[in-house]
Amino acid sequence: MNIKGIQQYYTSPVQSINRIANKSTNPIIKTSGLSCDTFEVSFGREISTNIFNGKGKFGIKQYKKLLPIEIETLEILCNSDKAIKEAVKENLDMALILKDSLDEQYGKNNYVFVSIGRSPTGIARAFEFMGTETKYLPISGLRNYPYYGMLVAGAKGLNEYGKFLNSQGISNKDIGNSEKQYLFFDYTYKGTTLKLYEELIRKYYDINQPNMRFISLNKRLDPITYEDVKTHREFNYYLSKYLIHSGIEKFGGISELNIENLRDIKKCKKFSTTTSQMYNFLLIRELDKRGLLRENPNNKKSL
């Protein structure tokens, strides 16, 4: 949401926000004398949309630092953006369906959710904030290389990307010493991208462990939803809206990293947007209200 939109939405919010807050201290939100993206409660704490400033990922740590009135005010702000509100609901619905299935197959959280590229990030954020160990491995443009040799020959920064993988715990040592299954997820059309990425990991970086699985996100979700006709229709809608047409990219907070220049991984480490931060906040808030919010120390280094 842009600043103009925020200003318009908060032209006269005091009564409604104070009703929602319903605090015995009767906090009053003052807007006079302040910039259009800043609000101040009576006890002196500012509520600012600069919380979503695009400088780093908004996560559980940031959420827990907020006062109740700040959380409630920011929830109103984020819910006023229809696209963000819908993205949170629809991705969380799919994430819960998938998580139930994976928990049943591998044991509750007895796996690492590895998100390849940007397609699975909307669901991956839900797994991360529910306490599942989650990795984000940005990469794009793989399908433009029909042969593995061309991929390796054309890529710059392969060593830098290898160091990044190691920093994220994607190594023979880390995976081999883990009792968890490492599930590498990506959206697939023909499966070329996922196959090439698996070759990149196994052949070039020589990371080969029996507890590694490379899985099509959409193919895994599809059979799960088949038993319920309504849910299956919702899955087809989700597939078209977020995966086929890359609609999730603006919410995931993961930068594009083209295979031709993997040196840009440095930019990915610091990449975030206001929209992705608001998405994270609203997702965390929803999980907190459902009692599903969990922190996992293994996610501290995750993008």
What is the per-residue pLDDT across 198-254, written as a single tens digit (0 to 9) for each? 999 999 999 999 999 999 999 999 988 777 777 788 899 999 999 998 899 999 999
CA distance linking residue 267 with residue 269, whole number of Å: 5
The pTM of the full predicted model, rounded to 2 decimals, is 0.84
3-state helix, strand, coil in the chain (%, to 5): 55, 10, 35
Residue with the two structure tokens 């619905």: 93
pLDDT (0 to 100) of residue 202: 95
Under 8 Å between Cβ of 271 and 253: yes
pLDDT (0 to 100) of residue 16: 37
Under 8 Å between Cβ of 57 and 253: yes
Any idea how long the chain is? 303
Cα separation values, 281 from 54, 126, 288, 294, Å: 13, 11, 10, 14
pLDDT (0 to 100) of residue 49: 56
CA distance linking residue 102 with residue 106, whole number of Å: 6
**pLDDT of the chain, 303 residues: tens digit per residue:** 333 333 333 333 333 333 333 333 334 344 333 333 444 443 334 455 577 876 789 999 999 999 999 999 999 999 999 999 999 999 999 999 999 999 999 999 899 999 999 999 999 999 999 999 999 999 998 877 667 777 777 789 999 999 999 999 999 999 999 999 999 999 999 888 899 999 999 999 999 999 999 999 999 999 887 777 777 888 999 999 999 988 999 999 999 999 989 999 988 888 889 999 999 999 999 999 999 999 999 999 999
Rounded to 5°, angle at Cα 170 from 106 and 252: 80
